[in-house]
Structure 1
Amino acid sequence: MKLYGLKNCDTCRKAKKMLEAKGHEVTFVDVRQSPLEEKQLSQFLKAFGEDKLINKKSTTWRQLSEADRTKPALELLVENPSLMKRPVIELKDTLHLGWTKDVQEALSM
Structure 2
Amino acid sequence: MMVKLYGIPNCDTMKKAIRWLGEHGITYQFHNYKKVGVDEKLLRQWVDRVGWEALLNRRGMMWRRLDDSVKAEINEESAIRVMLETPSIIKRPVLETDKTLNVGFTEEAYSKLFS
Task: Give TM-score scaled by structure 2 length.
Answer: 0.85
Q: Which runs of 5+ in 2 are unaligned?
A: none
1:64 corresponds to which letter in structure 2?
A: L
Q: CA RMSD in A?
A: 1.6
Q: Which runs of 4+ in 1 moved over 6 A?
A: none
Question: Quick check: 1:79 aligned with 2:85?
Answer: yes
Q: In 1, are the aligned partners of 2:20 and 2:107 still within 8 Å (CA)?
A: no
Q: Secondary structure at the match of 1:28?
A: strand
User: How many residues are matched?
Assistant: 109
Q: Which runs of 5+ in 1 are unaligned?
A: none
Q: How does 1:56-75 map to 2 (within 5 A)?
A: 56-69=58-71, 70=73, 72-75=78-81
- State the identity as a percent: 34
Greater percentage in helix? 2
1:105 deviates by 2.6
Give the Cα–Cα distance (whole angstroms) in 1 for the partners of residues 109 and 48 of structure 2.
18
Give the Cα–Cα distance (whole angstroms) in 2 for the partners of residues 47 and 20 of structure 1.
27
Counterpart for residue 48 of structure 1: 50
Q: Which has the higher contact order (CA 8 A, sep 6+)?
A: 2
